[in-house]
Amino acid sequence: MLFQASVTDSKFQLQQFKNTRTQTLQLVEPLEKEDYVVQTAFFTSPPKWHLGHVTWFYEVVLSKLESNYEFFSPEFSKIFNSYYRAFGEPHDKAKRGILSRPTVEETLSYFHTINKRVEKFFATRNSMEEKEIYLFKTAFNHECQHQELLVYDLQHLLAGRYKPVKNNFPPVPSPVEKKQINIDGGLYDMGYSGIDFCYDIELPEHKVYLNSYAMDVFPVTNSEFLKFIEDGGYGDYRFWLSDGWEAVKKNNWEAPMYWQKEDDKWIKDDFRGKTKINPNEPVCNVSFYEADAYCKWANKRLPTEAEWEKAACWNEEKKVKTVYPWGNEPPTENHANLLESYLWSPTEIGSYPLGKSRYGCHQMMGDVWEWTSSEFVGYPGFKSNFSEYNDKWFTNQKVLRGSSFATPAYSIRNSYRNFFRLDERWMFAGFRCVEDL
């Protein structure tokens, strides 16, 4: 059995549905109408498309549960389909921004219309079957993914042009102590071990053998990465993979995305406007190539995802693994205060004792996704549970672990496997280093 449903009450699932949909609308609420339709690069999507796509995905779920389900519109299905060939040929991703139709109003109307269809489905059931719960939880988590992608895309769209009404960012905090934690090797049970929802790519739990290693307590910071830059790291091919060096030259990379040099000083141009580089923040918006090059320059390496997972959730004293960073229970409203202790706050970098792993590694959840050296492939014995969702990307991708400050708390767990291409860096990605013992 893929998972055991913790709550079969349709009212509980309906409330989660409403919470998720409300959170999506809250993300776009501050936008002007003109913002909804802009696509700034081939790897981004307009906000309007995100709204339509997560809505269309609920139609896909309904179509799997109702044999006579009719999609709202063949035109909408083509435009808001991302890559699911089973539902027809999707519109070209790189050209989503050239479509003025459907309009923003029509897309929002579609959003609310499908909400009513889903709510009607829940109203017909007091309790839900395992398959129904899994499909809807997949849709909830899918929408969480797009909420985070939407934030990436909005930063790419509005960086340097969006001026927050209130500046909530405090003075630079004191430096954190940089050290490593030694972690013993041996057999480790890797993968999801809970009873609630997880993606199929987090299963099955399986044994891996690890050599002993030393992991950095904190992610690489801006000040540390700046030393790499100032030492000519972006101009020295010796630190770069061949494809990485080609990416540096082709794209004229000189620093992480959103870094700019003004008057011989580095600044960051993001949601906060133009600000001085905070030396103690984790470096963010770097590609796998940049993370790997830094590690070579520092005579270290990136962790494998198994090494990262063990450092994040293994309790050496009790010989048990936690599913979520706060314990083994799925996130609920009761975890709200505790979640704040685990997710990074720019006011208290590295100061949450509750937020460190049992080994003593800090900021593994809620700051930046962390690159690993592992290829994104299925675990031994992998079985797909949702056609064309994750397994079609088992090539030319690297695994990232943890979560970022834009990751909805609902979808955070220690076994979550994110994945991106090696040259992508508009997402909130950083890294930490390890050394062999």
pLDDT tens-digit readout, 356-382: 899 999 999 989 999 999 999 999 999
User: Could you tell me if 417 and 377 are in contact, meaning their C-beta atoms sit under 8 angstroms apart?
Assistant: no
**Lowest-pLDDT range of 80-89, 217-226, 291-300, 397-406:** 80-89
Q: What does pTM read for this prediction? A: 0.91
User: Which residues, other chains included, contact 333 with Cβ-Cβ below 8 Å and sequence gap of 6+?
Assistant: none
| Residue 38 domain flag | yes
- The answer to whether position 4 is within a domain reads no
- For residue 5, is it within any domain? no
CATH of the domain at 116: 1.20.120.450
Contact 259, 222 (CB under 8 A): no
320 domain-assigned:
yes
Q: Which residue has the higher pLDDT, 268 or 348?
A: 268
Residue 218 has a pLDDT of: 94
Instruction: For residue 255, give both structure tokens.
Output: 């620093």
Q: Are residues 214 and 145 in the same domain?
A: no
Minimal CA–CA distance to 19: which of 128, 150, 137?
Answer: 137
Q: Is the dihedral of CA 363, 369, 370, 374 positive or negative?
A: positive
Nearest-5° Cα angle at 27, 21 to 30: 130
Residue that has been written with the tokens 């770069």 in this structure: 240
Order across the sheet with 273-276: list the strands. Answer: 259-262, 265-270, 273-276
Residue of 216, 217, 218, 229 whose CA lies nearest to 256? 229
Residue 16, Cβ density class (10 Å: 0-12 exposed, 13-18 middle, ≥19 buried): middle
If asked whether residues 224 and 258 sit together in one domain, one would say: yes
Q: Is the pLDDT of residue 149 over 80?
A: yes
**CATH code for position 427:** 3.90.1580.10
Whether residue 254 is found in the same domain as residue 106: no
- Mean pLDDT, residues 96-125: 95
Q: Could you tell me if residue 117 is inside a domain? A: yes
Residue 160 has pLDDT above 80, yes or no: no
Q: Is the peptide bond before 204 cis (omega within 30 degrees of 0)?
A: yes
Is 162's pLDDT higher than 90? no
Quick check: is 314 in a domain?
A: yes
CA distance 39 to 99: 10
Q: Are residues 146 and 278 in the same domain?
A: no
Residue 182 placed within a domain = yes
Question: The domain containing residue 223 runs over which residues?
Answer: 168-437
pLDDT of res. 158: 87
Among candidate residues 130, 223, 209, the one with its CA nearest the CA of residue 175: 223
Closest CA to 59 of 44, 40, 41, 74: 74
Question: pLDDT tens digits for 43-101?
Answer: 999 999 999 999 999 999 999 999 999 999 999 999 999 887 777 788 899 999 999 99
Look at residue 204 and tell me if it is in a domain. Answer: yes
Q: Name the one residue in this structure whose structure tokens are 């293994």.
A: 314
The model's pLDDT over 320-363, given as tens digits with 9 standing for 90+, comes to 898 887 777 776 654 444 444 434 333 333 334 557 899 999 99
Rounded Cα distance, 139 and 137, in Å: 5
Q: Give yes or no for residue 156 having a pLDDT over 80.
A: yes
* 5 band by pLDDT with thresholds 50, 70 and 90: very low
pLDDT at 180 over 60: yes
When divided into structural domains, the chain yields a total of 2
- Together in a domain, 149 and 177: no
